[in-house]
Homo-oligomer: A and B are copies of this chain.
Amino acid sequence: MQVEITREYIEQVEEAIERQDREFILSTMDEMHPADIITVLYELDANESRYVLDQLPAEIGAEILSDLDNDIRSEFLDKFTSEEIARYINLMHSDDAVDILNEQSVQRREEVIAHIDNNEQAAAILDLLHYEEDCAGGLMAKELIKVNLNWRVRQCIEEVRRQAERVARIYTVYVVDDRDKLLGRVSVKRLLLSKDDTQVKDIYSEDVIWIESYKSENEVVNMMQRYDLEAIPVVNIQGRLLGRITIDDVVDVMQEQAELSRQLMTGITENVEEDDSVLRISRARLPWLIIGMVGGLLAAHFMGFYEDDIALLPAIALFVPLITATGGNVGIQSSSIIIQTLSSNEVMFDNIAQRMLKVFLVALLNAFIISILVFSATYLFKQDFTLAMVVSVALFSVVMLASLMGTITPMILDRFGINPAVAAGPFITTANDLLGLAIYFGVAHLLYSL
């Protein structure tokens, strides 16, 4: 059911909570998707949300808790006892359960696990807790359907039926040997189309793409996108089937990565949203503003060496914004292109020399065009040949050097295992401001004293 959540409805819910009207909550939310109920909860305060959650069936509550925004969830769960959390954890998919446990303190985590009464679930969770959150192992869930190579179709369909309750989305049935080594897959469709006493080994396909548990989130995304997969099995180093990652989790990872890279590019250090507190947004934004400020003060200090030149020839100062802005723009463009290549993780046979040659040629062409334009404009505007030469020669050098810096910095960061997107934001801009000024005043000093 698709519902539109109106302000009136929120108000009705608030009134219903006030008068403890359980019926109103249950009857209106019965047909709602958990994602829509979450939208309603976000408009309520913590106590009101708690009241709503307590009225809903535990399965719906578990889905809601799985999908809540991390920050809000961890604040919200602080008011729950370990036993209450365990009751919901019991009903969750193992990957969501582990995400929630990872948000708790170590002591709290132990308490919650002790209260999980479904043994299979507890074992799955303990297993998943071993993996780092941002690797394939940390993304996978234990819920999947696997059948043995030697089973017959009848037994497989039996297994599908048995597991169907627990595994929300089947997608494919994995085929393993007696030691749980992943051998291939067989679709439910294929099982349906085969005779009951056919053996799995006669109908399964070896054509299965898997990923090792230690691979990074990024590799998971690339792999699932490259091969258009809706689920990917995760294996250990011996090829044993450990779990499965589904596309909905990968979509969330992609969204997070896109936001993260946008934030890195804009110099925001924490994951903030518009509805976070003033202090939090301010704190997330300050570090890069301060770095930019230090860069600006360094620029002032540096230009101080040329204060006499400026007094003599104030026209020089007029072109400072042109120089710094162009350096910044070119640097960000260059880093953006190389970061895209680095993150797409494509097989690249081109060697470094060839790539650098291309960077050099693009820079040369753009530097040439921009310099000619600026030379003409400055000459027309100031009627000063030397000044026009100084500005355009400096600009030419700035474009060349900013391209080089913008390309090399992300490559170096990537080599050292640092997210190269860091280099696309204020870092490149600040560095290029200083570089640009050094070139500009250097050229001015040189050409004017000729």
Nearest Cβ in chain B — how far from A143, in angstroms?
A: 14
Which chain A residues numbered 378 to 397 have a C-beta less than 8 Å away from chain B?
378, 381
Cα A186 to Cα B274 with chains together (Å): 39
Pairwise interchain contact A307-B314, C-beta atoms closer than 8 A: yes
Q: Which of A309-363 contact B (CB under 8 A)?
A: 310-311, 314-315, 317-326, 328-330, 332-333, 335-338, 340-341, 346-347, 349-350, 355, 358, 361-362
Q: Is A35 in the interface zone, CB < 8 Å from B?
A: yes
For A285, the closest partner residue in chain B by CB is B333
Task: Indicate if the CB atoms of A189 and B210 lie closer than 8 Å.
Answer: no
Asked if A7 CB lies within 8 Å of chain B CBs, one says: yes
> Within the assembled complex, what's the spacing in Å between the Cα atoms of A296 and B210?
53
Instruction: Please give the number of chain A residues whose Cβ is less than 8 angstroms from any Cβ of chain B in the complex.
Output: 122
Q: Does A377 contact B (CB under 8 A)?
A: yes
Evaluate contact between A319 and B300: CB separation under 8 angstroms: yes
Q: Which of A199-213 contact B (CB under 8 A)?
A: 206-207, 209-210
Contact with B along A252-283 (1 / 0, CB 8 A): 10110111011101111000111100110110
A230 adjacent to chain B (CB < 8 Å): yes
* A10, A161, A278, A378 — most chain B CB neighbours (10 Å): A278
Residue A94, interface by CB 8 Å? no
Are B35 and A226 within 8 A (Cβ)? yes
Given A230-B247, A285-B366, A347-B5, does the pair A321, B293 have CB atoms closer than 8 Å?
A: no
Q: How many copies does the complex hold?
A: 2
- The CA-CA distance from A329 to B433 in the complex, in Å, is 13
Pick from A72-80, A84-92, A120-128, A368-376 the stretch touching chain B.
A368-376
Contact of A214 with B by CB under 8 A: no
For A350, the closest partner residue in chain B by CB is: B275
A288 touches B (CB below 8 Å): yes
- A332 partner, pick from B33, B261, B266, B355, beta carbons under 8 A: B266
Across the interface, do B322 and A324 meet the contact criterion of CB distance under 8 Å?
no
19 sample A-B contacts, Cβ–Cβ < 8 Å, listed by A number: A35-B227, A35-B228, A39-B346, A160-B189, A164-B193, A188-B192, A192-B192, A228-B248, A258-B261, A268-B336, A275-B350, A290-B373, A295-B325, A297-B374, A297-B377, A303-B317, A310-B314, A310-B317, A321-B324
